[in-house]
A and B are shown apart, each in its own frame.
Chain A
């Protein structure tokens, strides 16, 4: 039965751009070779993995939307499984629309920077500031304590 499918796979994040590009082209050729038709390739981009896979901490997420016979999936997944640079893959029946929060990193987007990156940066700055403040406070306390000690000695 011909259906639309959504296969997402994770390429090793340490792989150079050129090799990654070659891999994506190879897989799209694979789908075509077995009689499928690639509708859209979305490069979600480099993400930090929630947990390390094969000692890799980063992965490059790629989504293939394609129309094919059921048997094509088995062939395609076999190629993915045999390739050492593919950390994970998942095939689902396409649900009818591409989620807007998954942006293709190669496409120019209307919104300038992806939000998750911003948030983490902000949090980092806040942490640093609060750490500075607490450091200053403790330093002041130490000074005061030092002065008191000095006074005590004078009194003695």
Chain B
């Protein structure tokens, strides 16, 4: 489905793949949902639905506390 202004309508990846594990220890997968600066990717970029974005956010924040993901990261120039 196409919307002229917004382009292609994204579908939430987690809704398609139901058995995704929202565990803070899952560093490899969580890395894909933060920017290279360590910020959490907004929904408008990842296309995640609200329900799964919440789960993702808690997992990333837990991972940050346990030093698995950085709070901030310097961009390598």
A residues with a Cβ closer than 8 A to B are 8, 10, 44, 47, 49-51, 53, 59, 87-88, 90, 95, 99, 101-102, 116
Contact = CB atoms under 8 A, between A and B. Distances in A.
B10 to A, nearest CB: 26
A90 B65 contact: yes
Contacts of B26: 99, 101
Main secondary structure of the interface of B (DSSP, over half): loop
A101 B25 contact: yes
30 contacts: A8-B25, A8-B66, A10-B66, A47-B68, A49-B67, A50-B64, A50-B68, A50-B69, A50-B70, A50-B71, A51-B67, A51-B70, A51-B71, A53-B67, A87-B67, A88-B66, A88-B67, A90-B24, A90-B62, A90-B65, A90-B66, A95-B23, A99-B21, A99-B23, A99-B25, A99-B26, A101-B26, A101-B28, A102-B25, A116-B28
Give the secondary structure class of A's interface: strand
Contacts of B71: 50-51
B23 A59 contact: no
Contacts of B24: 90
A10 B24 CA distance: 14
A155 B50 CA distance: 75
Interface of B: 21, 23-26, 28, 62, 64-71
B21 to A, nearest CB: 6
Contacts of A99: 21, 23, 25-26
B25 A50 contact: no
B40 to A, nearest CB: 14
Nearest to B23: A99
Contacts of A51: 67, 70-71
Given A99-B23, A99-B25, A116-B28, 16 more contacts: A8-B66, A10-B67, A44-B25, A47-B68, A50-B69, A50-B70, A50-B71, A51-B67, A51-B71, A53-B67, A88-B65, A88-B66, A90-B24, A95-B23, A101-B26, A102-B25
A105 to B, nearest CB: 14
A50 B45 CA distance: 24
